[in-house]
Structure 1
Amino acid sequence: MNLTVKALNRTALLACAPFLGIMIWLLLSDIVIQLPTDAFPKPVTELTRPPETNIEPASTGLDLAQQTASQTRESIQKQIKLYTQTNADMAKISSMAASQAMRPLIIYDRNITSKLGKAAGTIESDKLRAQLFYIKAENFTAYALKVKLKSKDAMTMTLGGDELGKAETTLAAVNRHQAAAGINAGGFADGRGKRYPLSTTIVDGDYATGFEAPHADLFFVGLNDKNELIGGKFATKQHLDAQKPKFGASFVPVLLRGGAPQPIPAKWQTSPKRAPRTVIANYKDDQLLFLVADGYNESGSSGATLGEMQLLLQRYGAVDGYNLDGGGSSSLIFNGRVINKPSDGQLRKLPTHFLFFK
């Protein structure tokens, strides 16, 4: 296609005509375009320069906070020291109060101990305190064992060989159970080659042969679940169970009730008159007292009378006292040694024994 210069000029003029028209219109019109003042950057002057930050108040506040924290720490330390001192003072006061509360018991124990004389031996542990005393009476030699039970498992009663119908010496029972001391307990009856405990007998809270109503001056004596001595004639099993017995045995007769001597049946005053004896009693503070009197036979010519045992119990300040099996059955073991002199010439095999553990 052939285009002339004239044709090209005409085409270019037509293309630029609109733009030329707009420019001519803008030049000839009165239109004013205004921009806002904040569209332009402001010059930096002394008035517009940002103020310098003043850090002095912040520094002062920080110092004050540190001072407050230090004072708070000192106050807390003083409070802790005061609290510790107060606890120490309260512990001291509590200890003094406990000591003062125990003082009457200490004085009481000192008084009853002084009546027994000087202890020949003492077993002391967190379970018990057992003190052995020698007694020289006008007509016989005897021994006293004063026992303070500190634990519920410090004392028990065991069957011979731990089986009903079997028998063993108190020394054998002590050794077998690794006990610290032992004393013979209730009476017995032989039958069919075996030796059985007399009447109502309780071991570890169980009736060994069932309950038997008291008869012929028989009584039951033992300890309850608070290590308190219980004893007497219980008409029914319910009456005895109400005492919560842990263990106990039966024999005759009752010697002391509430510190007062009880009438001794005529039969037991003369059969025999004198004999080796074993007695169990208690004090007002629930300590136990055992008396064992020596005698070289059971014919009535040696040993102690029941009346003399009553007098000893009263002299030593006992509250309740009960006669246990005596004669050749009387046995006192202390620290692995036989203390009394058995009238049989050797210890008798028995069905029940009181044992003490340290």
Structure 2
Amino acid sequence: MLTKVQLFLVSLLAPVLGVALYLNITNPYIGLEDPSFSEDQQTIKIQHEIMRQNLFEKRELISEVQSVTKISNEILELVQESAHEELLAYMEQQARLESIVDVSARQQKMSADLIEQLLATMLGDPIGQTFGENSIVKIYSLEEAGYRGYMAKVRLQNPNAIRMVLANDQIASDGETTSQSAARTGAILAINAGGFTRQNGKLYPIGITVVDGEIVTFYDTSLSFIGFNKQGRLVGGNVTSRADVEKLEVMQGASFLPTLLKSGEKQPIPARWANTRHPRTLIGHFDNGDLFFMVVDGRRGGWSNGVTLEEAQDKLLEFNIRDAYNLDGGGSSTFYYNGKILNKPSDGVERRVTTNIIVIP
């Protein structure tokens, strides 16, 4: 017989033994073939694997996007930093350019003021002034021992205000006086320009002639060329080819001789032109680029005997002229201003010429 203690122990172990016995019993579902149940499990497993793979790929994509974003931000920071540095450099450069322009403008004004003071000291107040939209023209009377004449200081505010005008706008013509040329073009100032020759009863310009950027004659290149470029600056000297004319960007030009000054230095006077007095037409420019026109009368006893080119060089240097040229003189020399001929041409009347330089107000 079992003792009470044994019975007690059996009662305690009975649940455990029952569970163990249950677990040792064969699973009633094992061996039963249910295809749908197996396929569902397989489908779930596959879907799970696909989801896991998708999540993995998305994590990789997110990681790549984060990496690219980081690189883009770094590049953007570099670009912004570079752009900021470039902007600062640009602003600094602009400030320097503005400073240079300001200094240049002040120097130009100072130079112009000095020229005005110099001319006022040497010649007195202008006898005529025109403040036009395209140019500022000041006229002075010139009176020296042995000769008289007139001169003009011209500041172009529009480079197109200065032009070379052919007589009647033709290469071969009967000629045209300076006052006629000025009147039909609306000029405030005009002087005769290049030399000319007569052939078959017609007058032709000699040397190189340029009108509104077009080379209309190109003959004797041994002459001095006198022209104005696209900026209205006086250019010229020894020009021997069409390429030279194009290189100088000449818009207006004519020819005669000789060259008197280059960069403030006297140029040699040809022997056959040396130390002879004649009426003269001269052109040049001051340090600041303002243009200079001068006509000296001659061959008129009691009024003006004319001037030698050597004397003219000295006078030009006194006026602080940098570059200067001798234009056609003698009976051709004519100075027109504001509707009148101011000088006294040596022929007693104006001579018909082939080219004139005119200034529009």
2:170 paired with 1:163: yes
Partner of 2:152: 145
Deviations 1:142-178 (A, max 9, x none): 2111100010221101100111122110000111112
CA 1:97–1:219: 2 relative to 1, 3 Å: closer
The match for 2:239 among 210, 234, 243 is 234
Amino acid of the structure 2 residue aligned with 1:343:
S
Deviations 1:251-291 (A, max 9, x none): 01010010011110111115xx1011000101222110011
Q: How far apart, CA to CA, are the structure 2 residues paired with 1:158 and 1:135?
A: 26
SS in 1 for 2:325: strand
Structure 2: 5+ residue runs without aligned partners? 1-97
| TM-score of the aligned structures, taking structure 2 as reference length | 0.68
Partner of 2:133: 126
CA 1:241–1:96: 2 relative to 1, 3 Å: closer
CA 1:205–1:101: 2 relative to 1, 3 Å: closer
Checking the alignment, whether the CA contact within 8 Å between 2:196 and 2:354 is kept in structure 1 is yes
SS in 1 for 2:287: coil
The match for 1:246 among 237, 251, 254 is 251
SS in 1 for 2:326: strand
Identify which range, 97-106 or 124-133, moves more after superposition.
97-106
Amino acid of the structure 2 residue aligned with 1:134:
S
2:195 paired with 1:192: no
Checking the alignment, whether the CA contact within 8 Å between 1:296 and 1:342 is kept in structure 2 is no
Partner of 1:354: 357
TM-aligned CA deviation for residue 311 of structure 1: 0.8
State the identity %: 35
The match for 2:184 among 164, 176, 180 is 176
Q: How far apart, CA to CA, are the structure 2 residues paired with 1:223 and 1:153?
A: 10
SS in 1 for 2:159: coil
Checking the alignment, whether the CA contact within 8 Å between 1:284 and 1:318 is kept in structure 2 is yes
TM-aligned CA deviation for residue 96 of structure 1: 11
Partner of 2:143: 136
Checking the alignment, whether the CA contact within 8 Å between 2:147 and 2:307 is kept in structure 1 is yes
SS in 2 for 1:214: coil
Q: How far apart, CA to CA, are the structure 2 residues paired with 1:152 and 1:255?
A: 24
CA 1:98–1:263: 2 relative to 1, 3 Å: closer
TM-aligned CA deviation for residue 116 of structure 1: 2.1
Deviations 1:120-143 (A, max 9, x none): 111111211010001111110121
1:1-358 to structure 2, matched below 5 A, reads 101-117=104-120, 118-166=125-173, 167-209=175-217, 211-212=218-219, 214-215=221-222, 218-270=223-275, 273-296=276-299, 302-358=305-361
Checking the alignment, whether the CA contact within 8 Å between 1:275 and 1:297 is kept in structure 2 is no
TM-aligned CA deviation for residue 234 of structure 1: 1.5
Q: How far apart, CA to CA, are the structure 2 residues paired with 1:184 and 1:341?
A: 13
Amino acid of the structure 1 residue aligned with 2:318:
R
TM-aligned CA deviation for residue 115 of structure 1: 2.3
CA 1:213–1:343: 2 relative to 1, 3 Å: closer
Partner of 1:14: none
Equivalent residues, number: 258
Q: How far apart, CA to CA, are the structure 2 residues paired with 1:230 and 1:124?
A: 25
SS in 2 for 1:153: helix
Partner of 1:21: none
Q: How far apart, CA to CA, are the structure 2 residues paired with 1:130 and 1:103?
A: 21
TM-aligned CA deviation for residue 114 of structure 1: 2.3
CA 1:108–1:190: 2 relative to 1, 3 Å: same
Q: How far apart, CA to CA, are the structure 2 residues paired with 1:261 and 1:97?
A: 32
Q: How far apart, CA to CA, are the structure 1 residues paired with 2:101 and 2:128?
A: 28
Rg bigger for which structure?
Answer: 1
Amino acid of the structure 2 residue aligned with 1:208:
V
Structure 1 outlier segments of 4+, above 4 Å: 95-101
Partner of 2:59: none
